Chain A
Amino acid sequence: MTAVDPTVDPDREAMGGADPDRLVEIDDFLGDPDAHGPRGLPRTIIGWLTTTDHKALGIAYIVTSMVFLGIGGALAGVIRAELAEPGLQLVSVETYNSVFTIHGSVMVYLFAVPFGFGMANYLLPLQIGAPDLAFPRLNAFSYWLYLIGGAVMLLGFVADGGAASFGWFAYPPLSGAAGTPGIGADMWIVSIILTGTSGTLTAVNVIATVTMMRTPGMTLFRMPILTWNMFITSFMVLVAFPVLSGALLMLLADRQFGTHFFDPVDGGSPILWQHLFWFFGHPEVYIVALPFFGVVTEIFPVFSRRPVFGYKGLVLATLAIGALSTSVWAHHMFATGDLVLPFFAATSLLIGVPTGVKIFNWIGTMWDGSLSFEAPMKFAIGFLVTFVAGGVTGIMLASPTLDFHLTDSYFVVAHFHYVMGGTVIFAMFAAIYFWWPKVTGRLLSEKLGTWHFWLLMAGFNVTFFVQHLLGRAGMPRRVPDYRPIENFELWNKISSFGFLILVASMVPFLINVVRSLRSPATVGADPWHANSLEWATFSPPADHNFTWLPPIRSERPVFDLRWINFEGVGAPTSADAWEARHDHDEQWLPLHQWSDEEEQKRTTGPRPIERTSEGQSSDEDRADGDRGDDGEEIT
């Protein structure tokens, strides 16, 4: 501890245990949060139905996807209840098939991916200093398509013949007209086409936003890693989702119009479906994962008080994952025997490399840091542990020799629950605890967060660890019944018991959320002393996000701002930039403001967004709080 590293906070211990005094707090720059017009969400139903605001839509995405998580979780409860004992106790075989199909489909298509899009909606414009996404109306359209499309899938349960029952990957001939005749199957197909289209449009929106809407100074290699990951994810969506939509249209045509794309009797090929599906399906699992890799990459540096280790390496690793993940698809089809095994075994093993690089980056970030374990950090570490466990079994499965034995068994179920649970469950909660103060202006209780974390950790591992053993011993997936051989009964009982702990872990979380929402919103702009731009505005953020922006001189503008002029800390050039700006203009980079005149023009249609160098304070406070019906101008 001799030379000062300008990129690292002084050690807390060295400064007397508590957080060291900073020269400035972000709140000192911001002034009165309510001086800049209304903040927060639409307050009327019409406001919600018509909103194009990225923050409102982001919250809508997140809340909707959590509701789907609840529904998917309830279906998982049915599965675990049925499997708790040998024999058929609870549901018929047909119902069981529908239950695991809709469980998987809801979790993948309606929860995991849209939650990521919700974060992209809310956080991405904030992180790059933009007032909204590039195409706000397209964004609203995507959301509604997702909500309505998702409802169509669930309505399959009330259709004649029940909901789709062919698994989330819908292999023909089982998913053909003869295999699954009911209308529920068609509704499932339509639902995935709609939600897939919604995702594609959001991806277009994200790419356009990142490319064109960054604030000056926010170069590509200063973007927060979360934004980078959303950007790369969006590209993967563009490659993968249209293939799925195309394949689903072909399947629908087979079922409804008598075509024979996947019908071997008439020259079609079921294997073609598998290629098309997994060309989407494997990128899909990384589309699910990458945004959450981004989440933990935002969290580790903040609670380690260090910059992220190897920023460029992380970006390159993510690019490599994004590219490679579209060339490994057939590792899901090893058992068909009809493909170039060495090619896919090699690419699948290769993709473990950039994934490993990321893990070392995360550990390197924490190494020697001044760690603290607030709830977001706990969940981020929970992610790391769980995800690594799942990655290891992934590498095992990538070897065809092992896969021939393990495919279609509970081992695969254990593998993907560890990787998916690590990302979409642990990292999702990390994200919720981390950005909750930004979104709501309130804190969540650390004590309840700790209960939540440990119950989740216990429940998750009790539920899914034994599934490795079950699979290795030969229990196939997607069966409602099994014989009480080996330890099947015991292991299944343990797994079902684990599910109860998982459910219990949601109790402290829900209490936490409700209690927090009932308390007053008093949190400042930057409660965690974080790094990226979203912490440079109010909590919750102002309408169109920023009333001013700090100079951006590194990938951590808010860190630089907090430590400005503090000897030896902060990006060296930002202090100069700041000094120059300070002399030049009391108001510090006012990005936009409201004025009376513009308010009057409000009803006459859309108006221009302007950035101006004039630094008057914005004194306009609109009378009505409903942001649902406004066309807005920023000057």
Chain B
Amino acid sequence: MKIEAILWTGVAVFYIVIGLLYLAVGGDTAGVVLLLLATGLGGLVAGWVWDWTRRNGERVENRADVDAIDSTGVVGVYPTASLRPLALAIGVTAMFLGIPLGSWLSMVGIAIVASQVLLLTRDTDT
């Protein structure tokens, strides 16, 4: 994942440079802070990818001369189809709509979200 790591490092470097430049020319505080936060975002992913590469070495997916057949074995798990995503979306909407429409709606929303998240974690455990 070297290329990925370089890519994300580039993102972080770009934002730190442009952020400091903006600070130097007297940019507004919000803009400077946002650019530095973007640096952090890029850096976070870059750091994770570098670390992953250091621990796991290069993946077969990044070699130019391999075929699908060269990476066999379990590569992941598909979740079953599920009503939870829909229920969760309804819950989250109720949660936010409660802010203008009345806190009872937020309560309902929170109850739905909590129950669905709980069920979701139990689903995928099996």
B76 pairs with A608, CB closer than 8 A: yes
Residues 64-82 of B at the A interface (beta carbon under 8 Å)? 64-82
Q: Which residues on B sit within 8 Å (CB–CB) of A220?
A: 3-4, 7, 62
Known contacts A145-B89, A194-B92, A256-B99; is A628 also within 8 Å of B81 by CB? yes
Interface class of chain A by DSSP: helix
**Quick one: given A193-B96, A604-B126, A630-B80, are A141 and B68 in contact (CB under 8 Å)?**
no
The A-contacting residues of B in range 18-73, CB under 8 angstroms, are 18, 21-22, 25-28, 30-31, 34-35, 38, 41, 49, 60-73
Residue A629 CB within 8 A of the other chain: yes
Instruction: Please indicate the chain B residues that have their CB under 8 angstroms from the CB of A148 in the complex.
Output: 89-90, 93
Question: Which chain A residues border B96 with CB–CB below 8 Å?
Answer: 190, 193-194
Q: Which residues of A contact B31 (CB under 8 A)?
A: 275, 279, 329-330
> How many chain A residues have a CB neighbour from B under 8 Å?
90
A606-B126, A610-B74, A628-B81 given; A190·B100 CB < 8 A: yes
Query: When A140-B86, A629-B81 are in contact, do A340 and B100 touch as well, CB less than 8 Å?
Result: no
In the docked arrangement, what's the CA distance between A120 and B58, Å? Answer: 27
A137 touching B85, Cβ below 8 Å = yes
Q: How far is the CA of A577 from the CA of B99 in the complex (A)?
A: 60
A238 within 8 A of B: yes
Closest B residue to A239 by beta carbon equals B38
A560 CB to nearest B CB, Å? 13
A-B CB contact pairs (8 Å), 28 listed:
A137-B79, A137-B84, A141-B85, A152-B97, A190-B93, A194-B96, A216-B70, A217-B65, A218-B61, A219-B3, A220-B62, A235-B11, A239-B38, A256-B100, A271-B28, A279-B31, A319-B7, A326-B38, A327-B18, A327-B22, A340-B22, A343-B22, A343-B27, A551-B67, A605-B126, A611-B72, A612-B73, A629-B81
Question: Which residues in B have their C-beta under 8 angstroms from that of A197?
Answer: 92
Interface stretch (choices A49-57, A296-304, A481-489, A506-514) = A49-57
Report the separation of the CA atoms of residues A630 and B49 in the bound assembly, to the nearest whole angstrom.
Answer: 33
Interface status of B83 (Cβ within 8 A of chain A): yes
Query: Would you call B75 and A611 a contact (CB within 8 A)?
Result: yes
Query: In the bound complex, how far is the Cα of B72 from the Cα of A214, in angstroms?
Result: 13
Question: Which of the four size classes fits the interface of chain B?
Answer: 35 or more
Which residues of the other chain, B, contact A140 by a CB distance below 8 angstroms? 82, 85-86
Q: Is residue B112 contacting chain A, with contact meaning CB distance below 8 A?
A: no
Other-chain contact of A239, B21, B41, B64, B100 (Cβ < 8 Å):
B41
Residues of A within 8 A of B88 (CB): 141, 144
Is A339 an interface residue, CB under 8 A from the partner? yes
Given contacts A275-B28, A323-B11, contact A215 B61 (CB under 8 A): yes
Closest 8 CB pairs of A and B: A144-B89, A186-B100, A631-B80, A140-B85, A141-B85, A605-B126, A50-B81, A216-B66
Q: Are A219 and B81 in contact (CB under 8 A)?
A: no
B68 near A217: Cβ-Cβ < 8 Å:
yes
The chain B residue with its CB closest to the CB of A333 is B28
Q: Are B69 and A613 interface neighbours, CB within 8 A?
A: yes
Q: How far is the CA of A343 from the CA of B18 in the complex (A)?
A: 10
Closest chain B CB from A217 CB (angstroms): 5
A252 within 8 A of B: yes
- Find chain A residues with CB under 8 A from B67 CB: 216-217, 549, 551-552, 577, 581, 589
Complex CA gap A294/B36 in Å reads: 29
Residues of A within 8 A of B38 (CB): 239, 326
Q: Which residues of A contact B76 (CB under 8 A)?
A: 213, 608-609
User: In the bound complex, how far is the Cα of B81 from the Cα of A629, in angstroms?
Assistant: 5
Residues on A facing B (Cβ under 8 Å): 47, 49-53, 129, 131-132, 136-138, 140-141, 143-145, 147-149, 152, 183, 186-187, 190, 193-194, 197, 211, 213-222, 235, 238-239, 243, 252, 255-256, 271-272, 275-276, 279, 319, 323, 326-327, 329-330, 338-340, 342-343, 549, 551-553, 573, 577, 581, 585, 589, 591, 604-613, 627-634
Determine how close the nearest CB of chain A comes to the CB of B27; give it in whole angstroms.
6
Which residue on A lies nearest to B98, using beta carbons? A190
Return the chain B residue nearest A635 by Cβ: B74
The answer to whether B22 touches A589, judged by C-beta atoms less than 8 angstroms apart, is: no
Q: Is the CB of B26 within 8 A of A340?
A: yes
Asked if residues A611 and B61 are in contact (CB atoms below 8 Å), the reply is no
Complex CA distance for A149 and B95, rounded to whole angstroms: 12
The docked-state distance in angstroms from the alpha carbon of A551 to that of B81 is 32
Q: Is the CB of A630 within 8 A of B81?
A: yes
Per a CB cutoff under 8 Å, which of B68, B86, B89 touches A589? B68
Note all chain B residues with C-beta closer than 8 A to A610.
72-75
Contact of A186 (CB < 8 Å), options: B11, B22, B99, B126: B99
Contact B69 A589 (CB under 8 A): yes
Q: Are A145 and B30 closer than 8 Å at their CB atoms?
A: no
**CB within 8 Å for A136 and B93 given contacts A218-B61, A219-B62, A272-B30:** no
A148 to chain B, nearest CB (A): 5
Instruction: Flag whether B104 is at the interface (Cβ < 8 A).
Output: no
Contact of B83 among A49, A552, A627 (CB under 8 A): A49
Quick one: closest A residue to B64, CB to CB?
A: A219
| A572: min CB distance to chain B, Å | 13
A526 to B84, CA, bound (A): 37
Complex contacts, B118 vs chain A, CB 8 Å: none
Q: Which residue in B14, B63, B81 is a CB contact (below 8 Å) of A216?
A: B63
- Specify the chain A residue showing the minimal Cβ separation from B14: A323
Chain A residues positioned under 8 Å from B89 (CB to CB): 141, 144-145, 147-148
| Residues of chain A with a CB closer than 8 A to B100's CB | 183, 186-187, 190, 252, 255-256
Q: What residues of B have a CB within 8 angstroms of the CB of A605 in the complex?
A: 80, 123, 126
Contact A238 B81 (CB under 8 A): no
Closest B residue to A220 by beta carbon equals B3
Do B84 and A187 have beta carbons less than 8 Å apart?
Answer: no
Taken together as a complex, chains A and B put the C-alpha atoms of A595 and B26 apart, in Å, by 66
Complex interface: chain A residues within 8 A of B60 (CB):
216
Contacts of A339 in B (CB 8 A): 27-28
Flag if A629 contacts B80 (CB, 8 Å).
yes
Q: Which of B70, B82, B83 has the most CB of A within 10 A?
A: B82
Residue of B nearest to A131 (CB): B78
